[in-house]
């Protein structure tokens, strides 16, 4: 039994299974359930009352963190760069859940991973549990190693979208995995840094797993509007009755089709992991309403 429903669709004439984390964990945005579970249970056990994290103004990670902290009675603090925008749907949502938002300058934000900066935050806020931007750390990767529970030996190829790569690292670490794993990056940059960043989370038992990160470069930069991508997403929903998110899973499905066109995966058992992120549509419509209107 898989942890989430599986839907079989046809892409480029070939059957592809989709693991529907977006259905199984709708409120907490799919993969973020796995990234947060051990972090927040650890925070609670260690007696923390507040959780602080970083992210973009439309971040799925922040959205999920706000929701999970509310459920668990933890105070949540969100550090963002730039200026406030009271109409931003993600910000409205997290504030409704009681998350505190603090804006810092872009220059300060660049220091977000530096220990000295973290120390100053600790002085300001007291004892806080800090989740890095995107939420990736050892405990997040540990949680993501549970995504394929029950189906680890049933596929030849498994694909997932990549932001920071924590989810990909977790999939690779799945006990008993028989598949090759392909991560499709939602960012066009980071070719030199992302693979080593993922590698450092791979546990000894998984060192033999074959995996790689592909960079989808034709559908625009991270979270940027691209007419081709938007049209692809619309067609995908109409054809398959599965809604990808606009930032991550849309590019994964698109790139899966590109890979299938090569014929190299004929007769392979393929699984795409739908990591959720559907809250991203509100921000997408909000930011790109004009561009979308011009398309239709
Ligand atoms: C956060 C997110 C990802 C990226 O996960 P990483 O562990 O940072 O690589 C992928 N898909 C969706 C929908 C997300 O929200």
The token pair at 152 is 């680890």
pLDDT of 296 higher than 80: no
Nearest CA to ligand 1 atom 13: 277
Report which ligand 1 atom has the smallest distance to the Cα of 64.
15
The verdict on the CB of residue 280 being under 6 Å from ligand 1 is no
How many A from CA of 111 to the centre of ligand 1?
Answer: 22
- The counts of H helices and E strands in the chain are 12, 10
CA dist 44 and 256 (Å) reads 39
Please state whether beta strands 180-185 and 14-20 pair in parallel, antiparallel, or not at all (unpaired).
Answer: unpaired
Cα dist from 126 to 44, 49, 95, 120, whole Å: 16, 10, 21, 10
The verdict on the CB of residue 173 being under 6 Å from ligand 1 is no
Q: What is the pLDDT of residues 191-226, one digit of tens each?
A: 999 999 999 999 999 999 999 999 988 999 999 999
Dump strand ranges (E) for the chain. Answer: 6-11, 14-20, 50-54, 75-81, 100-104, 128-131, 157-162, 180-185, 211-215, 270-274
268: closest CA among 163, 158, 175, 193?
158
Query: 23 in helix, strand or coil?
Result: helix
Q: What is the pLDDT of residue 117?
A: 87
CA dist 124 and 118 (Å) reads 10
CA dist 296 and 284 (Å) reads 15
The verdict on the CB of residue 213 being under 6 Å from ligand 1 is no
Q: What is the pLDDT of residue 115?
A: 86
Q: Which residue out of 23, 24, 60, 194 has the highest number of ligand 1 atoms within 8 Å of its CB and is therefore the one to mutate?
A: 60
CA dist 215 and 212 (Å) reads 10
39: closest CA among 168, 165, 162, 143?
143
The verdict on the CB of residue 163 being under 6 Å from ligand 1 is yes
How many A from CA of 145 to the centre of ligand 1?
Answer: 14
Q: What is the pLDDT of residues 55-88, one digit of tens each?
A: 999 999 999 999 999 999 999 999 998 889 999 9
How many A from CA of 264 to the centre of ligand 1?
Answer: 26
Give yes or no for a contact between 244 and 250, defined as CB atoms under 8 angstroms apart. Answer: yes
Neighbours of 227 (CB within 10 A): 13
pLDDT of 102 higher than 80: yes
The verdict on the CB of residue 30 being under 6 Å from ligand 1 is yes
CA 198 to chain centre: 14
CA dist 62 and 127 (Å) reads 20
N- to C-terminal Cα separation, the chain: 41
Q: What is the pLDDT of residues 136-164, one digit of tens each?
A: 999 999 999 999 999 999 999 999 999 99
Q: What is the pLDDT of residues 17-30, one digit of tens each?
A: 999 999 999 988 89
Report which ligand 1 atom has the smallest distance to the Cα of 144.
7
Neighbours of 154 (CB within 10 A): 15
What is the rounded average pLDDT of the residues 216-240? 95
How many A from CA of 14 to the centre of ligand 1?
Answer: 25
Q: What is the pLDDT of residue 51?
A: 97
């Amino acid at each position: 039994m898989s942890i989430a429903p599986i839907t079989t669709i046809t892409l480029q004439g070939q059957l592809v299974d989709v693991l529907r984390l977006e259905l199984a964990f709708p409120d907490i945005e799919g993969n973020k359930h796995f990234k947060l579970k051990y972090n927040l249970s650890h925070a609670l056990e260690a007696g923390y009352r507040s959780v602080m994290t970083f992210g973009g103004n439309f971040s799925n990670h922040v959205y999920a963190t706000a929701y999970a902290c509310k459920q668990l009675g933890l105070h949540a603090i969100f550090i963002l760069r730039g200026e406030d925008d009271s109409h931003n749907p993600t910000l409205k949502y997290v504030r409704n859940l009681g998350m505190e938002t603090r804006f810092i300058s872009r220059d300060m934000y660049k220091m977000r991973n530096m220990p000295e900066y973290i120390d100053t935050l600790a002085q300001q806020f007291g004892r806080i549990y800090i989740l890095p931007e995107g939420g990736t750390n050892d405990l997040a990767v540990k949680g993501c190693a549970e995504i394929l529970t029950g189906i680890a030996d049933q596929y030849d190829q498994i694909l997932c979208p990549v932001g920071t790569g924590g989810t990909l690292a977790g999939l690779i670490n799945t006990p008993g995995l028989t598949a090759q794993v392909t991560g499709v990056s939602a960012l066009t940059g980071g070719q030199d840094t992302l693979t080593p960043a993922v590698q450092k989370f791979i546990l000894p038992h998984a060192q033999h797993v074959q995996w790689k990160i592909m960079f989808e470069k034709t559908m625009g930069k991270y979270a940027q509007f691209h007419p081709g991508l938007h049209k692809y997403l619309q067609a995908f929903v109409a054809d398959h009755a599965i809604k990808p998110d606009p930032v991550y899973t849309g590019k994964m499905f698109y790139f899966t089709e590109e890979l299938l066109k090569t014929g190299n995966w004929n007769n392979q058992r393929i699984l795409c992991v739908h990591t959720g992120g559907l809250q991203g549509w509100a921000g997408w419509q909000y930011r790109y309403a004009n561009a979308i209107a011009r398309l239709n």
